[in-house]
Amino acid sequence: MPLSTSAPPVDTTPHCDDLYPSRIAPEAEIIPRLDPIVYGDAESGPLSDEQLRRYAEDGFLVLPGFLPQADVAACAAELARLCECPQTLRLPEAILEPKGSELRSLFAIHEPRISPYFSEVAADARLAGMAMQILDDQVTVHQSRVNLKPGFAGQEFYWHSDFETWHVEDGMPRMRAVSCSVLLTENTPLNGPLMLIPKSHRYFVACVGETPDNHYQMSLRRQEYGVPEHHVLQSLYEQGGIREVSGPPGTVVLFDCNAMHGSNSNITPMPRSNLFFVYNSVSNGLVEPYCGKTPRPEYIAARERVAPLDVDWTSRLREPGRTA
């Protein structure tokens, strides 16, 4: 299935129309992207013209060692505190590995009720400022989480576009969101690092299969719907290849909401932990899910607690447990 490399047009259809239908046709489809990729410019934020160009071209940008090690150590200490707290595993936000009792993901970490510290990290100008520049708007946190891949036990995250799920199951109208991943541990080619298909963000992959009720209860542990067909992945791979994101702690990865990505299981002794903050444009608020199902819980897709982030451009992270 050949893919066009021409730039898709910008569409101005109202949000109430479903521009990206998925899980309704009997066969997979590849639909040209109808939204811009980069909304801002180099004058509106910290990223340079070249960095914005690379983000627009590939659908992601890797910034090795972006955060200083003192900040990384503080984030790691806060994560350890959460993981060692017996109450954490009893939270609905805590997702366990599909074949064990190890923590796979912890959602809503930006909410003060779970972590006042990670709430500050999400609003740190060094991270949120780049998202605001790319989206050319104020931002809210659509979703936050930490993905843990414990040694010997961390299972894979299969290939998917986040936007396909956020659109179908959460009602995110347009591709105006960016994910920010902060590596808290060494990510190597061996311990299940993030993998991306460059240029895949230029196309929307419409998947097959009707969305089950309460799909999130299964999909957060192992996704079966919203997963691209093999021949579609083959086509995307032939155009863009695969890039695995290795890097030291403190590396930051920005990637478009529609970039096709996944990661292998971790059968090494080396654990892998990454923070994720999904920044959504305030102009791209959620509507009713396009699949016609009940919206997913607030901790997975924020639709009520969506005040614009109060970004302090002079702030720096404090040590966990200390008041500002």
Q: Give the CA count within 13 Å in the CB-facing half-sphere of 257.
A: 29
| Residues 277-290 pLDDT 10s | 999 999 999 999 99
Lowest model confidence (mean pLDDT) among 48-52, 146-150, 210-214, 229-233: 210-214
User: What fold characterizes domain 34-246+257-284?
Assistant: Jelly Rolls (2.60.120)
pLDDT for the residue 270: 87
Confidence of residue 147 (pLDDT cuts 50, 70, 90): confident
Mean pLDDT of 20-28: 88
**Measured distance CA(234)–CA(239) in Å, rounded:** 9
Per-residue pLDDT, 223: 54
pLDDT band at 225 (very low <50, low <70, confident <90, very high): low
Which helix (H) or strand (E) segment holds residue 94: the answer is strand 94-96
Given a cut of 70, whether residue 130 has pLDDT beyond it is yes
Of 273, 140, 295, nearest to 216 by C-alpha is 295
**Alpha helix ranges (H) inside the chain:** 49-58, 69-84, 116-122, 125-135, 162-165, 216-219, 230-240
pLDDT for position 13: 36
Could you give the percent of the chain with pLDDT greater than 70? 84
Can you give the pLDDT at residue 14? Answer: 35
- The predicted structure's pLDDT at residue 96: 78
How far apart (Å, rounded) are the C-alpha atoms in residues 46 and 96? Answer: 37
pTM score > 0.85 for this model?
yes
Check residues 226 and 162 and name the one with the higher pLDDT. Answer: 162
Q: What is the pLDDT of residues 90-109, one digit of tens each?
A: 888 988 767 666 777 899 99
User: What is the residue-averaged pLDDT of the chain?
Assistant: 86
Highest mean pLDDT among 21-30, 73-82, 267-276: 73-82
pLDDT greater than 50 at residue 229 = yes
Residue 167 near residue 287 (C-beta atoms within 8 A): no
